[in-house]
Amino acid sequence: MKTVSNPAVGTAHGKIILMGEHSVVYGEPAIAVPFPSVSVVATLTEKSGSITIESDYFTGELDQAPHSLDNLKAAVQVTCEALGQFASGFHMHIQSTIPPERGMGSSAAVAAAVIRSLYAHFHRDLDREQLLRLVNVSETIAHGNPSGLDAWMTSGEIPVYFQKEKPFEPLPLQMNAYLVVADTGQKGQTKDTVRDVSRLEQLYSEEARRIIRRLGALAEQAKVAIQEKNPVQLGECMKKAHSQLMTLTVSNAHLDRLVAAALYAGALGAKLTGGGRGGCMIALAADRMAAEKIAAALEHAGAEQTWIHSLGGD
């Protein structure tokens, strides 16, 4: 006999790639940070009959949801199987402030929040390992062959330094600085940019690989800057990384305009984040006042919205 709570809530948050986009595909290191300024809240209430869902993208019976939500259907199904429960008898309300297709881990965050709400609904404990396993089932449907990074970051609290096929390395970040994140308003083009970088690597292998190695070296230097709590050095790494990413053709005019606006407004560093050609960019500010000035400059330059995130030093 099942024991339920009414309502039950699960949460998760966004993530940001700080350094290492694209080069991480070729075995170079990268750094990611949790981004709680954007989040997902899943609320489950008990009801009779089939599962219903209410969200910004679809409202109705989950079985009738479009294929774009197949990953969510899978998350619910595998979680109910893990709990030994029938996938029925509740209404799911999903609220998200994570803009989709911006490289912020939206799909993983939704899955994590829903899975947590189901475990809360049935009064069952959920350890991190089980959560990551269940989220990655959903992410496999959403992205094909996920690295596990989005699942890890959207449900965790500590930045990580990571390389392909190696364990995630926690990278505590306590720096007197602020991260300003700006949404271009354009969907990211991760699949296209990854494909195009691969073509460059094949056509101009020596030069492309040199750029990829530089991006990896900049990620390593950024790790040292974080460990030494040196925002000026971290900012320099960010500026150099954006220049290399431009050479790899994964930026676009809007991203470059926002990066330039942030630097002109006094940012210590700025770069695109994620797949590129849309999505988001990030800027590093020395203090809160500087961050607010940079955010205003970014909005004036055409950013759809901005967020200011403390890096933990205050």
- Residue 85 dihedral angles phi and psi, to the nearest 5°: -125, 155
What is the SS3 assignment for 17?
Answer: strand
Paired tokens of 79: 């979680």
- Eight-class DSSP state of 25: G
150, 192, 196, 256: which is the annotated catalytic residue?
A: 150
How big is the chain by its Cα radius of gyration, in Å?
20
CB 295 within 8 A of CB 280: no
- Comparing C-alpha atoms, which of 274, 88, 126, 110 is closest to residue 193? 274
CA torsion 74→190→25→139, rounded to 10°?
A: -10
Q: Is 192 a catalytic residue?
A: no
Spatial distance between the Cα atoms of 156 and 108, rounded to a whole number of angstroms: 12
CB 7 within 8 A of CB 45: yes
Positions marked catalytic: 150
